[in-house]
Copies of this chain bind each other. A is one copy, B any other.
Amino acid sequence: MSREEDKIGSGWFEVEPFHVDVTGHLALGVLGNELLNCADAHAERRGFGMTWLHDNRCTWVLSRLVMEMERMPRQHERFCIRTWVENVYRLFTDRDYEMITAEGEVLGYARSVWAMIDMDTRKPKDLLALHGGQIAGYVCDKACPIERPGRIKVRAEEPVRTYRAQYGDIDVNGHVNSVKYVEHMLDLFPLEWFREKRIRRFEVAYHAESYYGDTLSFYREEAGDGAYGIEVRKEGGEVVCRSKVEFI
């Protein structure tokens, strides 16, 4: 195994019956959960996981997530998620993912961008200064051949839906779970679209937290070529997150 290969974390998954959508393929939200779990496990083994975070009153904050799939695995299919760190900057780190089958078929790739904040001050930490700069040694040169997250603009002025955040949306930190936004955004599209097309690329940028009881307004607009921009705003207009969904 090369030194670069050593830097890649991996985990095997089986697509369980309750993790598929109407088409019998893995639901995008479940894939998102698994990616975030893999990131946590990989960081944990390198000393930047939950345990260290908890002791140091820090937490990773997900800023961007892009998933781009050639195909989604089917019910009962096994696949592997591989994850590695592409870049570390002072305030952000890029973590990439590859999804492959046991036969080596690449199902797709994902990219994520993370910051680390102090839980008390909510201020960002200097990643390059942590553990004596050790994190930079984890950067891996494996390629992630999908486009980086871009700038998402949504100009729609009338929400297509409003939703009040419920018990089931809230994670252990008291925030709406980042993957729940993804699920609520997919629910803005008709069921037939998921049967007749598929999502090639899903991109989300997180801007602010929302909480139990917040009324979230969803704005959607066509962005051409089967793509849709979605913006989620809180009462008062603060943008919570923006997304771009590409159906093909």
Chain B residues in 8 Å Cβ range of A224 = none
Determine the interface band of chain A, counting residues with CB < 8 A from chain B.
Answer: 35 or more
- Considering only residues 1-54 of chain A, those with a C-beta below 8 Å from chain B are 16-18, 20-24, 27, 29, 33, 36-37, 40, 50
Cβ-defined contact, B171 with A187, below 8 A:
no
Name the residue of chain B whose CB is nearest to the CB of A175. Answer: B22
Number of copies: 2
A168 contacts B by Cβ under 8 Å: yes
Cβ-defined contact, B18 with A36, below 8 A:
yes
A179 to nearest B CB, angstroms? 6
A162 contacts B by Cβ under 8 Å: no
A212 touches which of B16, B170, B191 (Cβ 8 Å): B191
Quick one: CB contact mask for A171-213 with B, threshold 8 Å, 1 for yes? 1101001010001001101110010000000000000000011
A166 contacts B by Cβ under 8 Å: yes
A75 contacts B by Cβ under 8 Å: yes
A167 touches which of B50, B76, B167, B187 (Cβ 8 Å): B187
Given A21-B172, A167-B189, A167-B191; 14 other pairs, CB 8 A cutoff: A17-B40, A17-B50, A17-B172, A21-B167, A22-B167, A22-B171, A22-B212, A23-B172, A75-B172, A166-B187, A167-B194, A168-B183, A170-B191, A191-B212
